[in-house]
């Protein structure tokens, strides 16, 4: 009797086991194919936009001719930036623009280091520079306080860890006059990483170049959704009209862009108006930066969810918002697949090696690299084909991004390119996952 029951139990366990493995396989297969379809669709769409406006992307350069020189205000919020603040102010001082048409407001947001003294020292003999000092309130609040005092028709913000190229302001203003559209409210810069030293910074250098190209393509469709902190040029009247920066948002530069889109204002990208920003050098500050970005973008997406799929908002509502939402799915499925195809086999190998007391040499000797017709036929063609296709598209954009930003691909050697393609996106995906967990936690508390 007992034996019988054991038999049944074993049978039930076997069935449960089999079912769980089967459903796991089904789950993974579905994720793979859905992720493939989404990635292929959006890549093709991006390619279509690129080829539609190909001549613009290849020939157009920003004009340097301004019909007039309006008063421009530049805000530099600084919090404990004693190492870089001088260089930042210097880059603003060196802008090729009439000094009397410029107003620079440096905001010391209650720094505890020597930032304030350094600013005071620097601006002594420069009448166009002003210092605004107050208790620590955060960046958005600092900007709003300065915004109340701004006299310029346009104003730009420049984070104190970033440095603007001398020609950028002229190029951006030229774009304002060229478009000649009162609805055009923000012009975003082309951000590059400032003097990358180590591999992490060099990878970000590559990433930023690709972002410039993508932003330029998005700009053609009026679907930009970020106005980067370093040197976005705003139309003062519009920003005042919509109530300035959101002081509660952790990424006010994304929130303001979403708000512009919501009220049907336009954002344009100045693809050769360069700003150099200091990228995090170590993993920990990198993690903190990205977590803030991703968390911020989730909050923005949630805040402006009525735009998602809304036909009133045209391409922004339909394709861009869908892309932003799908981005999370792709990142999550990427991690799931990596775990399934990388970590599980890795665990299995470790266990096998432990069983063999780490005597791996005989196993290595057994590996034979055979290459014949059968090896070729055994390659997982249906999946490999899509992966190869997506990889080719990303290589294409990678190459075009370098042409677009006028940089050589191997400027910092070939080495950073390998981790950029191999596991940088996985790293970002993991950070995104952690941010998502945090986001859902904070939501639960609020609701």
Partner 1 sequence: MVNQDLPWRKISKDKYIIAGVITLLIFSLGISLGFIFENQRYALLGDINQEQEVKYLSLQLQYLYLNYFSSYNNCPTLTTTLKETIKDLSDSLSEVIAFEEQNKVSSSQHQVVQRRYVLDNLRYWLLAKESKQKCDMNIVPILYFYTQECSSCPNQGTVLSYFKSVFGEQVLVFPINLDLRQEEPMVEIAISQFNITKYPTIVVDNTKYEGVVKEDQLKEIICASLKQSPECS
| Minimum distance of partner 1 from residue 235's CB (angstroms) | 14
Which lies closer to partner 1 via its Cβ, residue 67 or residue 349? 349
Q: How far apart are CA 230 and CA 84, in angstroms?
A: 14
User: Which lies closer to partner 1 via its Cβ, residue 360 or residue 399?
Assistant: 360
Minimum distance of partner 1 from residue 373's CB (angstroms): 6
> What are the residues whose beta carbons fall under 8 Å from the beta carbon of 128, sequence distance 6 or more?
99, 100, 102, 103, 104
* 162: β partners: 277
**Smallest distance, partner 1 to C-beta of residue 4, A:** 13
**Which residue's entry shows tokens 């939501």?**
443
Min dist. Cβ of residue 238 to partner 1 (A) = 11
Distance CA 414, CA 16 (A): 49
Tokens of 230: 């370093």
Name which of 30 and 363 has its Cβ closer to partner 1.
Answer: 363
Between CA 90 and CA 85 the distance in angstroms is 8
- Cβ distance to partner 1 smaller for residue 15 or 415: 15
Instruction: Say if CB 232 and CB 189 are below 8 A apart.
Output: yes
Residue with smaller CB distance to partner 1, 18 or 134: 18
Q: Which is nearer to partner 1, 285 or 343 (CB)?
A: 343
Least gap, CB of 352 to partner 1 (angstroms) = 4
Task: Please state the separation of Cα 261 from the chain's center in Å.
Answer: 18
Strand order across the 233-235 sheet: 129-134, 102-109, 72-78, 154-157, 233-235, 184-193, 266-277, 162-164
Burial class from Cβ neighbours inside 10 Å (0-12, 13-18, 19+) for residue 101 reads middle
> Cβ distance 205 to 276 under 8 Å?
no
Nearer to partner 1, 285 or 347 (CB): 347
Nearer to partner 1, 94 or 350 (CB): 350
For residue 96, the 8-state DSSP code is S
CA distance 416 to 147: 40
Interaction site with partner 1 (CB under 8 A) = 10, 17-18, 21, 25, 36-37, 40-41, 44-45, 48-49, 52, 183, 221-222, 241-242, 262-264, 311-319, 348-349, 351-352, 355-357, 359, 362-363, 365-366, 373-375, 377-378, 380-382, 385-386, 389
Nearer to partner 1, 148 or 376 (CB): 376
Helix (H) or strand (E) holding 40, with range, is helix 2-52
Cβ–Cβ under 8 Å, residues 133 and 116: yes
Residue 48 beta carbon to partner 1: minimum distance, rounded to whole angstroms = 5
108, 132 contact by CB (below 8 A): yes
Residue among 116 and 235 whose Cβ is closer to partner 1: 235
Strands 184-193 and 233-235: antiparallel
Residue (34 or 167) nearer to partner 1, CB: 34
Selection from 171, 169, 166 nearest residue 63 by Cα = 171
Which of 146, 147, 148, 158 is CA-nearest to residue 189?
Answer: 158
Q: Which of 396, 403, 230, 223 is nearest to 323 (CA)?
A: 223
Angle at 38 between CA 37 and CA 40, to 5 degrees: 65
């Amino acid at each position: 009797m007992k034996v019988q029951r054991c038999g049944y139990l074993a049978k039930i366990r076997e069935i449960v086991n089999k079912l769980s493995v089967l459903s796991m396989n089904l789950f993974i297969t579905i994720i793979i194919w859905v992720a493939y379809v989404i990635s292929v669709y959006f890549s093709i769409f991006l390619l279509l936009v690129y080829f539609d406006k190909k001549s613009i992307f290849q020939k157009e350069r920003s004009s340097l001719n301004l019909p007039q020189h309006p008063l421009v205000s530049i805000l530099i919020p600084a919090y404990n930036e004693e190492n870089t603040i001088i260089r930042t102010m210097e880059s603003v001082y060196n802008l090729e623009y009439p000094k009397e048409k410029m107003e620079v407001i440096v905001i010391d947001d209650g720094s505890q280091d020597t930032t304030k003294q350094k600013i005071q020292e620097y601006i002594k003999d420069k009448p166009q520079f002003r210092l605004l000092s107050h208790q620590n309130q955060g960046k958005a609040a600092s900007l709003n306080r300065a915004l109340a005092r701004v006299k310029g028709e346009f104003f730009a913000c420049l984070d104190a860890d970033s440095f603007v190229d001398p020609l950028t302001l002229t190029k951006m203003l030229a774009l304002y006059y060229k478009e000649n559209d009162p609805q055009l409210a923000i012009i975003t810069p082309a951000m590059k990483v400032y003097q990358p030293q180590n591999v992490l910074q060099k990878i970000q250098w590559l990433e930023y170049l690709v972002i410039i190209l993508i932003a330029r393509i998005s700009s053609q469709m009026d679907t930009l959704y970020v106005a980067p902190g370093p040197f976005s040029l705003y139309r003062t009247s519009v920003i005042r009209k919509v109530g300035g920066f959101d002081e509660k948002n952790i990424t006010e530069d994304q929130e303001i862009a979403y708000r512009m889109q919501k009220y049907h204002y336009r954002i344009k990208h100045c693809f050769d108006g360069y700003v150099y920003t200091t990228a995090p050098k170590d993993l920990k500050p990198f993690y903190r930066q990205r977590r803030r970005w991703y968390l911020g973008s989730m909050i923005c997406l949630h805040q402006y969810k009525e735009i998602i799929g809304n036909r009133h908002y045209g391409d922004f509502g339909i394709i861009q918002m869908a892309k932003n939402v799908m981005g999370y799915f792709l990142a999550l499925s990427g991690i799931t697949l990596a775990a399934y195809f990388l970590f599980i086999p890795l665990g299995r190998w470790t266990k096998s090696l432990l069983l063999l007391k780490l005597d791996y040499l005989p196993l290595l000797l057994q590996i034979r690299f055979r290459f014949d017709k059968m090896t070729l036929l055994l390659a997982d063609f249906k999946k490999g084909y899509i992966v190869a296709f997506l990889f080719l598209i990303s290589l294409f954009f990678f190459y075009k991004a370098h042409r677009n930003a006028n940089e050589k691909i191997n400027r910092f050697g070939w080495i950073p390119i390998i981790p950029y393609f191999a596991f940088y996106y996985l790293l970002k995906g993991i950070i995104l996952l952690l941010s998502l967990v945090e986001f859902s936690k904070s939501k639960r508390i609020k609701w």
